[in-house]
Amino acid sequence: MQVGAHSEGLRAAVIGSPISHSKSPLLHGAAYQALGLDIEYTRQEAVETDAAALNTMLRNEPGWLGLSCTMPMKQALIPFLDNTSERVRILGAMNTVVVYRTDGEPVKLSGENTDVDGLIKSIAAMGATVLKNVAIFGAGNTASAAIMAVAESGAEHIDFVVRNLERAAASIALAQSFGLTANAILNDAAACSIPEYDAAISTLPPGSADSFVDKLGLENLRPGTPLMDVTYDPWPSRLASAWTEHGGVAASGLTMLLYQAVEQVKLFTGVTEADWDHVINMMCDAVGLTRPQN
C-alpha cells in the first residue's frame, strides 16, 4: 500500500489558483475518514512559477502522498514529473501527481488524469446505457477530457456546439484520433440535432450557455437524456434547469469532482479493496450531494 510507506504525518493537497472555493478537502477528508486513514488534506495556492518549488517539496519533505491539481498547475507541473500516464501524454494535462517512495530509491513523481474517470462515471450514474451520439458544449481545453471520456465510453460521434466553428478544429482532430466522427455546429443550429443525442457534456464556464439555452430546442429532448455540466457554482445552471424541465437528467461538476476524487484517493493511498459504496456515500454527505442509487 502507498500509505504503508509512512506511519504518520501523511498528507496531500489540492493546488491551483484560485483555490479557496475548492470542495476537494471535504471530499478527500470524508474518504480518508471512511477508510480509517489518518491523512491530512489541505488547499495550497499555487501558480506556474511555483512548480519547481512544489517539485522540491514533494521529493524532499516526508509524508507527501500526492497533489490534486487545478489550473494553472495541470500543465505547469508536467515537466517535473518522472512519468505520466497515456491519458496525460495524449491530453497534455493532468490533475493528479502521485508520490512514490521505495526504500533506497529516489522519490518518483507520476502524473495521471482522473478527470476522465469523473466524467465517465458521472454520465453512467445518470443511467446512460447507450452512448453513441454525444454533444459537447464548448471546444476549449476543458473539452479534451470530455472527448476522451466519451471515446472510452463507446461513443461514435461528437457534435461540438460552439460560437466559433474555427476554434473547434483541435477538438475535432482529437476526437478523430480516437476513431470518432466529429462536427462543429453553431449554438443556434443545435436545435435540429437535440433529439439525436444520447448524452451531452457542457464544458463551458458558468453562465456561458445562458444566451442560447432558449434556442436549443429542448422541447424535443429525449426523456432521460443525461447532461453533465462541469460547473457547480451557481447550481443549477440555467442550462441544467432548462434541461431537466424538458425531461432530461442533469448532474453538476460536483458529481464529476466526486468520482475523480475517488480515483485520486485510490492512487494516493494504494487502497483498492474497500467498501467503496460506503466511501462514496460519506463523500456525498460531506458536500451535500444526493447519494447514488447502489
Tens-of-pLDDT digits for all 294 residues of the chain?
A: 344 444 459 999 999 999 998 999 999 999 999 999 999 999 999 999 999 999 999 999 999 999 999 999 999 999 999 999 999 999 999 999 999 998 889 999 999 999 999 999 999 999 888 899 999 999 988 899 999 999 999 999 999 999 999 999 999 999 999 999 999 999 988 999 999 999 999 999 999 999 999 999 999 999 999 999 999 888 999 999 999 999 999 999 999 999 999 999 999 999 999 999 999 999 999 999 999 976
Q: How far apart, in whole angstroms, are the C-alpha atoms of residue 125 and residue 132?
A: 17
How is residue 51 written as a grid cell? Answer: 512548480
Q: 26 and 102 share a domain?
A: yes
Determine, yes or no, domain membership for 165.
yes
Strand order of the sheet with strand 133-137?
Answer: 181-186, 157-162, 133-137, 199-202, 226-229, 249-251
Report the alpha-carbon distance of residue 35 to residue 38 in Å, rounded.
9
Would residue 129 count as lying in a domain? yes
Residue-range definition of the domain harbouring residue 199: 117-251
Could you give the CA distance from residue 100 to residue 254 in angstroms, rounded to a whole number?
28
- State the CATH number of the domain containing residue 77: 3.40.50.10860
One domain, residues 38 and 155: no
Hey, how many other C-beta atoms are within 10 angstroms of the C-beta on 228? 29
The answer for 104, left when phi > 0, alpha when psi is -120 to 50, beta otherwise, is left
Shared-domain flag, residues 104 and 143: no
What global pTM score does this model have?
Answer: 0.92
| 72 and 178 fall within a common domain | no
Query: Does 225 lie in the same domain as 168?
Result: yes
Q: Domain for residue 293, yes or no? A: no
Q: Which of 114, 170, 105, 112 is nearest to 143 (CA)?
A: 170
Q: For position 207, which CATH number holds? A: 3.40.50.720
Q: Are residues 98 and 131 in the same domain?
A: no
Give the residue among 243, 202, 204 at the shortest CA–CA distance from 225.
Answer: 243
**Residue 90 and residue 132 in one domain:** no
Assigned domain for 277 exists: yes
> Into how many domains does the chain fold?
2
